[in-house]
Structure formats: C-alpha cells, structure tokens
A and B are shown apart, each in its own frame.
Chain A
Amino acid sequence: SAVISQKPSRDICQRGTSLTIQCQVDSQVTMMFWYRQQPGQSLTLIATANQGSEATYESGFVIDKFPISRPNLTFSTLTVSNMSPEDSSIYLCSTREGGLNQPQHFGDGTRLSIL
C-alpha cells in the first residue's frame, strides 16, 4: 500500500489563526480523504479531496472553515481556518487505491491543540 506522510505531526496554535496540514503520498492514488478525530471520539469524514476540482464536503463541514487543495494525484492540503479550542483534534489523511471494495489507508495524523 502507499506510504502516506503528514506534516506537521503536531502543533499548538493560538485561537483565530489558521494552519495548513500537508499530506504526501509516495504513489499516485485515486482517492484522498480528510478525517477528524476529536478527543475521545471516533473518526469523522470531513471531505473527499478531488484532484483538479473542489473537494466534496460532508454534512457539517464547510469549505470556508476547512479549505482543501489537491493539485495532483500524490498531494493534498487541509487548512483549518480561524481556529477555536473546539478544533483541537487529530486530523488524518487517508487514501484509497482502486474501487470502493479496497480499504482506505491512513497517515500518522496531525495532532492539533488550540489555546
């Protein structure tokens, strides 16, 4: 499976600021996704990052708050904008190669704390 690298691995930010998380894959992949894992909670899909077009957001997530880029088949970014303490979470990038019957693989995540 593809090797997925996320940067930064962790950060502590001030409220009101924005942070961009990078996800780099070592091979071209069809699908890339961004998930959020709030403290003590399970994973929730934020959006599907579409190559060359706007991301597809899940209910409860909006582009103004979580702008996503995917300039090519190996790279994506997620920005968490105007952060508040409620945004303190682990943000995870995942990929899937092939069809819907293939598993998603995850990066190591970005642990974000907002003061």
Chain B
Amino acid sequence: SQELEQSPQSLIVQEGKNLTINCTSSKTLYGLYWYKQKYGEGLIFLMMLQKGGEEKSHEKITAKLDEKKQQSSLHITASQPSHAGIYLCGAAPSPGGATNKLIFGTGTLLAVQP
C-alpha cells in the first residue's frame, strides 16, 4: 500500500526564517494536498497539486510537486508565529474514479520562535 513520509518530523525556526517541509511517496501521486492543523483541531486546506512540475503559491507559502509526482515540498518564506502548527500532506492513492480515500503523511510539527 502507498505510504507518505514527511520530513522533518518537527522543526523549530526563528521568526523571519525560511523553511521547507518534504512529503515523499512510495508510489505515483494522483493529487497531492497540503493541510495545516492546529493542535487538537481540524485541518485547514492550503493547496492542491496535480500535475508533475506544478507549483502554487499563496501568501508566503509555496508548494511544488516534482516531475515524477512522487515528492512534494512546502516552502514558507519569512516565517511568522501564525505559521506554527502541524503540516500534513495528503494524497489520492490511485487515479480518478477508483477511490475517494485520501492517505495522509505522518505530519511535521512547526514551531516559530518570536
């Protein structure tokens, strides 16, 4: 079965610093989703990537999906305390029509020190 591995597991950065979180799949990704979760709460949808080489940005967050569609990165520029939380990548494990299921990565805990 497909697994998503995130790195690093946790990250502490100084406010204003840049950081990158990676999500690696054992199989081809058919839709890659990035979410943010505050401790003990629900998930906030950030971005969705579908095509190899695709890159999307929203405010200070940029997500990329590699050409082979097996790895994605989430980059935060000039981090702020509001960026703190758990970042989760999720993926559709098979091409459209086969399943509704999303599998999720192990999560990356981000702390931003003022």
User: Which residues of A approach B to under 8 Å, CB–CB?
Assistant: 1, 4, 6, 31, 33, 42-45, 48, 58, 90, 92, 94, 96, 99-101, 103-109, 111
User: Which residues of B approach A to under 8 Å, CB–CB?
Assistant: 31, 33, 35, 40-45, 48, 50, 88, 90, 92, 96-97, 100-102, 104-107
B43, A100: Cβ atoms closer than 8 Å: no
Residues of A within 8 A of B43 (CB): 43, 92, 94, 106
Residues of B within 8 A of A90 (CB): 40
B96, A101: Cβ atoms closer than 8 Å: yes
Alpha-carbon distance A92/B102, docked complex (angstroms): 13
Given A1-B45, A96-B100; A109-B40 close (CB under 8 Å): yes
B100, A42: Cβ atoms closer than 8 Å: no
A108, B41: Cβ atoms closer than 8 Å: yes
The A interface, classified by DSSP as helix, strand, loop or mixed, is: strand
Residues of B within 8 A of A1 (CB): 45
Given A100-B92, A101-B31, A104-B102; A42-B107 close (CB under 8 Å): yes
A45, B88: Cβ atoms closer than 8 Å: no
B42, A100: Cβ atoms closer than 8 Å: no
Alpha-carbon distance A75/B107, docked complex (angstroms): 29
Q: List 25 A-B contacts (CB under 8 A).
A: A1-B45, A4-B42, A33-B100, A42-B106, A43-B43, A43-B88, A43-B102, A45-B102, A58-B101, A92-B42, A92-B43, A94-B43, A96-B100, A100-B100, A101-B31, A103-B45, A104-B45, A104-B102, A106-B35, A106-B44, A106-B45, A108-B42, A109-B41, A109-B42, A111-B40
Alpha-carbon distance A92/B90, docked complex (angstroms): 15
A100, B96: Cβ atoms closer than 8 Å: yes
Alpha-carbon distance A99/B99, docked complex (angstroms): 11
Most chain B CB inside 10 Å of its own CB: which residue of A42, A45, A96, A108:
A42
Alpha-carbon distance A6/B42, docked complex (angstroms): 10
Alpha-carbon distance A103/B36, docked complex (angstroms): 13
Residues of B within 8 A of A6 (CB): 42
